[in-house]
Amino acid sequence: MKRSQNSGNNSISVISDGHVNIHTGVSVSDVKEICRDLMKETLSGFSQEAQKEAERRNEKIIEDFIERAEALFGDKVEEKLSSFKDPGAQYAFRHAQTGYCRYGDSESKDDAIEIILSRISENNDHAINVIFDEAIERSAKINSRHADILTIIFAAFRISYGHINNIAALNSYISMVEKLSSTLPARNSDMSILSMNGLIEVMPNTQHWVSFERMLLNEYWGLFIKGFSVSEIEADFDFNDRDLIIPCLRDASKLQPNHVKRQGWRNKLTSRGRSEVYADELCAKMDSFLMSEEEISRLLDDKWPMLSRLRGAISDEMSSFRYSTVTSVGSIIAYVRAKRSGFQLGEDVRRYIDL
């Protein structure tokens, strides 16, 4: 039976079976009432003891959501929360409520809240909102372990960190990956759940992976140069380009290229009119001063021993982990978990969505 719930002037009325009558405007108190009404029928289906716990969890996710929204949006909180006039936003929040009331996973709750806030903070088109809504729904169906495994794949191989331009930033990144790696090794059931929920794609016939050491070299080439002296490059290097070399980050008594990425440094050379042959030969010369994968392995073993779990998972030919990529829906969940874990990813999650 349909039942109207009036939330006051200038607000939204919610009907118990999920249909809505939309009016204009919404306040924080309106949103709280809307969120409570969304779960009334569901909560009434529990036994008395279970209902009491589910109601407590429901109040917790509502209060946490409002507190986080007020902190994020400040004076514009009611303007941003006006998106709750959209049935899609209510549908999405109800999935977050249902998941937390059912399973009580605090980390998954916080992930869902961040996804909802990302959804309502931007004027996304329909296709983007569909992906956000799917992410909210799927996040309620996985636990923190699954989300951590998803985030490891995302953080290690899905994205490039443009802000990492010094050894300290690189070490911080590796430390955060190591912390996530404590969840590994991934069980077959973990990967099956992530795949079943459309959060990863497993492509066993495509070796799209590289070792973690090689990934570090590819992404942060300039941070693994051991350095060279002037005499070691004077026969190859035109010192009119001396501003393209700096003191070595790993050995201040030596020199190195002034770019994190190999291609970026090569582009600097060719943009000055240097020939393609000169740029290629000089980059090859710089490669001779790189740490080897074996040297990086020893460095990782010494400073981040728990990272061996990730490196072992990548090298395990029998594991689907090394053949997995994160989908657009999975990227949204992994993005908010990674940001909450301390990774610096920027503010626009849409850059990680493939449409």
- The verdict on 58 and 88 lying in the same domain is yes
Of the residues 240, 263, 289, which one is the last residue of a structural domain? 289
Interval 340-351 mean pLDDT = 78
Number of compact structural domains in the chain: 3
Give the pLDDT confidence score for residue 194 in this predicted structure.
Answer: 96
- The verdict on 158 and 212 lying in the same domain is yes
The rounded percent of the chain whose pLDDT value lies above 70 is 89
Interval 154-177 mean pLDDT = 85
Question: Helix H segments across the chain?
Answer: 28-38, 40-43, 48-73, 77-81, 87-103, 106-121, 126-139, 144-153, 167-181, 188-196, 212-219, 230-233, 262-271, 276-287, 293-303, 308-315, 328-340
- The verdict on 174 and 319 lying in the same domain is yes
Give the pLDDT confidence score for residue 259 in this predicted structure.
Answer: 95
Which amino acid would we find at residue 159? I
Give the pLDDT confidence score for residue 10 in this predicted structure.
Answer: 43
Interval 126-153 mean pLDDT = 89
pLDDT score of 45 more than 60: yes
Give the pLDDT confidence score for residue 160 in this predicted structure.
Answer: 66
Q: How confident is the model at residue 171 (pLDDT cuts 50, 70, 90)?
A: very high
Which amino acid would we find at residue 283? C
- The verdict on 167 and 134 lying in the same domain is no
- The verdict on 65 and 121 lying in the same domain is yes
pLDDT score of 69 more than 80: yes
Poorest-pLDDT segment among 10-24, 74-88, 235-249, 317-331: 10-24
- The verdict on 251 and 115 lying in the same domain is no
pLDDT score of 113 more than 60: yes
- The verdict on 107 and 15 lying in the same domain is yes
Residue range of the domain that includes 240: 226-289
- The verdict on 89 and 233 lying in the same domain is no
Give the pLDDT confidence score for residue 349 in this predicted structure.
Answer: 75
pLDDT score of 14 more than 70: no
pLDDT digits (tens, 9 = 90+) for 282-310: 999 999 999 999 999 999 999 999 999 99
Question: CA–CA separation, 15 vs 49, rounded Å?
Answer: 26
Give the pLDDT confidence score for residue 19 in this predicted structure.
Answer: 47
More confident residue, 72 or 291: 291
Q: How confident is the model at residue 76 (pLDDT cuts 50, 70, 90)?
A: confident
pLDDT digits (tens, 9 = 90+) for 93-109: 888 998 898 888 888 89
More confident residue, 209 or 194: 194
Question: CA–CA separation, 90 vs 100, rounded Å?
Answer: 15
Of the residues 90, 115, 141, which one is the last residue of a structural domain? 141
Of the residues 75, 107, 141, which one is the last residue of a structural domain? 141
pLDDT score of 192 more than 80: yes
- The verdict on 126 and 173 lying in the same domain is no
pLDDT score of 4 more than 70: no
**Mean pLDDT of the chain, nearest integer:** 85
Q: How confident is the model at residue 209 (pLDDT cuts 50, 70, 90)?
A: low
- The verdict on 86 and 100 lying in the same domain is yes
What tokens were used for 265?
A: 């440094």
Residue with tokens 């004076």: 75
Give the pLDDT confidence score for residue 206 in this predicted structure.
Answer: 55
Q: How confident is the model at residue 205 (pLDDT cuts 50, 70, 90)?
A: low
> CB count, 10 Å around CB of 13?
16
- The verdict on 115 and 176 lying in the same domain is no
Poorest-pLDDT segment among 32-36, 147-151, 223-227, 275-279: 32-36
Q: How confident is the model at residue 9 (pLDDT cuts 50, 70, 90)?
A: very low
Give the pLDDT confidence score for residue 254 in this predicted structure.
Answer: 97
User: What's the pTM value of the predicted model, to 2 decimals?
Assistant: 0.80
Q: How confident is the model at residue 82 (pLDDT cuts 50, 70, 90)?
A: confident
Give the pLDDT confidence score for residue 7 in this predicted structure.
Answer: 43
Report residue 75 CA to chain centroid gap: 27
Contact between residue 131 and residue 144 where contact means Cβ atoms under 8 Å apart: no
Residue with tokens 């990956």: 177
Closest by CA position to 33, among listed 9, 10, 12: 12
pLDDT score of 11 more than 50: no
pLDDT score of 215 more than 90: no
- The verdict on 318 and 184 lying in the same domain is yes
Interval 335-345 mean pLDDT = 87
Poorest-pLDDT segment among 23-27, 64-68, 85-89, 322-326: 23-27
